[in-house]
A = this chain, B = another copy of it.
Amino acid sequence: MSRNFKSDNVSAVSDPIMAAIIAANAGSAAAYGGDDLTQKLQSVASEVFGREVAVFPVTTGTAANALALSQLVPPYGAVYCHEAAHIVTDECGAPEFFTGGAKMIGLPAADGKITPAQVADAVEFALDMGVHHVKPAAVSLSQATEWGTVYTLHEVSALAAAAGKRGLPVHMDGARFANALAHLGCTAAEATWRSGVDVLSLGATKNGALCAEAVVFFEPERARDFERRRKQSGHLWSKLRFVSAQLLAYFADGLWLDNARHANAMASALARGLREIAGASLLQSVDANELFVALPEAVVVSLESQGFGFYRWPLCACPAGVAIRLVTSYATTPAQVQEFLAAARSAARG
């Protein structure tokens, strides 16, 4: 399905990661994370993030987000986030379920980035309401955002400062963290804890893994009993070494950033090409590997009929035409990009 731009999760597994899975299959090993690979992951992740972290492999982004929030937020808590955040619209109530009732309070922001002022206002409202309202409990931001943009380090820091001032920990949904990091060109430390992030849902599945995500606590003491939450929700694998192996391969030799840089570059190439097409307009800055673009409906229909895979995206504000979302991945090729652009150009010409 070379014409599939629906999501980065339709891609195959990156070769080094599959090789690592195969290599992990040598003989028996201690179950439930007692194996050597899972132990090694702790030190590798600590090195990647430039400080001692507590890292817990899981296998879906929904699990990573919901488990992370359940550790930070009580049943009567409020999580402030973007109104289109995955935790609001795409996880079927997982955060509410895992936390036992917390509310995800979605804030509007045209570019996908919530602001310190929004958090300040929302918390003030909550405190005015007192015991009748959920208690401000955390801020969650998606990096890269749901709109394919990336918070600058300054934006993250400012948001984290606003949260910290009100005693709220900061969660980062990093389903596409590597793409954001590749865009920012900074260290993983700068992108997270040095900017005030407390807990990261680190995604790898969309960037070449088979099934590997992780919850990363930058202050290990925040992770107290987290292993039981993972177990109680059915996310502790017996053969956990096979997830840890993926994450080790992901970090090794910079694979995660190489994959992400490639995906981002393919998105940039798509964006460049689309900008030159009459009637097409990019709806968001293309910082990572997602594009939101408005096209004349005829063009969209034509592309669909030719078998190109993408979603119409009504959530995205779109003054004219039809908004669609395109996602590139580590596996997207320049030829696939050019094929898509050619088809779009041709359709636009009528």
Residue of B nearest to A128 (CB): B314
Please, how many angstroms separate the alpha-carbon atoms of A60 and B13 in the complex?
Answer: 21
Q: A76-B92, A131-B236 are in contact. Are A100 and B97 (CB under 8 A)?
A: yes
Q: Which of A201-247 contact B (CB under 8 A)?
A: 205-206, 210-211, 225, 227-229, 231-239, 242
B232/A75 in contact, CB under 8 A: yes
B12/A26 in contact, CB under 8 A: yes
B131/A32 in contact, CB under 8 A: yes
B92/A62 in contact, CB under 8 A: no
Q: Which of A58-86 contact B (CB under 8 A)?
A: 58-64, 66-67, 74-77
List of B residues within 8 angstroms of A288 by Cβ: none
Residue of B nearest to A210 (CB): B242
Write out, one digit per residue, whether chain A residues 5-28 have a CB within 8 A of any chain B CB (1) or not (0). 011011111000010011001111
List of B residues within 8 angstroms of A7 by Cβ: 31, 238
Please, how many angstroms separate the alpha-carbon atoms of A77 and B235 in the complex?
Answer: 17
Whether A48 is near chain B, meaning CB under 8 Å from some CB there, is no
| Among candidates B75, B90, B238, residue contacting A60 with C-beta atoms closer than 8 Å | B238
Write out, one digit per residue, whether chain A residues 28-42 have a CB within 8 A of any chain B CB (1) or not (0). 111110000000000
Please, how many angstroms separate the alpha-carbon atoms of A194 and B206 in the complex?
Answer: 42
| Among candidates B30, B92, B228, residue contacting A231 with C-beta atoms closer than 8 Å | B92
The stretch that binds B, out of A132-140, A141-149, A155-163, is A132-140
Majority SS at the chain A contact face: loop
Most B CB contacts (10 A, CB to CB) among A21, A66, A125 go to: A21
List of B residues within 8 angstroms of A66 by Cβ: 234
List of B residues within 8 angstroms of A315 by Cβ: 125
Within the complex, the shortest CB–CB distance from A332 to chain B, in Å, comes to: 10
A100/B129 in contact, CB under 8 A: no
Residue of B nearest to A70 (CB): B75
Whether A287 is near chain B, meaning CB under 8 Å from some CB there, is no
List of B residues within 8 angstroms of A103 by Cβ: 93, 96, 104
Whether A116 is near chain B, meaning CB under 8 Å from some CB there, is no
List of B residues within 8 angstroms of A164 by Cβ: none
Whether A187 is near chain B, meaning CB under 8 Å from some CB there, is no
Within the complex, the shortest CB–CB distance from A100 to chain B, in Å, comes to: 4
Knowing that A60-B237, A96-B102, A211-B239 are A-B contacts, what are 9 other residue pairs whose CB atoms are under 8 Å apart, sorted by A's residue number? A11-B28, A13-B25, A58-B234, A62-B236, A74-B228, A77-B93, A97-B101, A101-B232, A234-B235
4 cross-chain pairs, A with B, having the tightest CB-CB distances, nearest first: A63-B234, A97-B101, A9-B238, A96-B101
